[in-house]
Amino acid sequence: MFRNALEPWHLLIVALVIILLFGSKKLPDTARSLGKSLRILKSETKAMKEEGGADAAAPATPVRPAETGEPR
């Protein structure tokens, strides 16, 4: 169904439409802010992976079943 969905001329048309919609003056600022956002996302995911790796290395505490109210 989508065998030839993205051919080079499709991408060219999409690029032209984006340039016409946003104008050539705003595109560099938009690309710059998108790059900053991606860098922030990358650094945050890296920090989350490092935190997750430290948590996974620690032994897990066993989960005890809920108390039934009976004395031990």
Instruction: Assign 51 a pLDDT band (cuts: 50, 70, 90).
Output: confident
Asked if 27 and 19 touch (Cβ cutoff 8 Å), the reply is yes
C-alpha 66: how far from chain center: 38
N- to C-terminal Cα distance for the chain? Answer: 66
Q: What is the rounded average pLDDT of the residues 18-39?
A: 88
- Does the structure show a pLDDT above 80 at 30? yes
* pLDDT for 63: 59
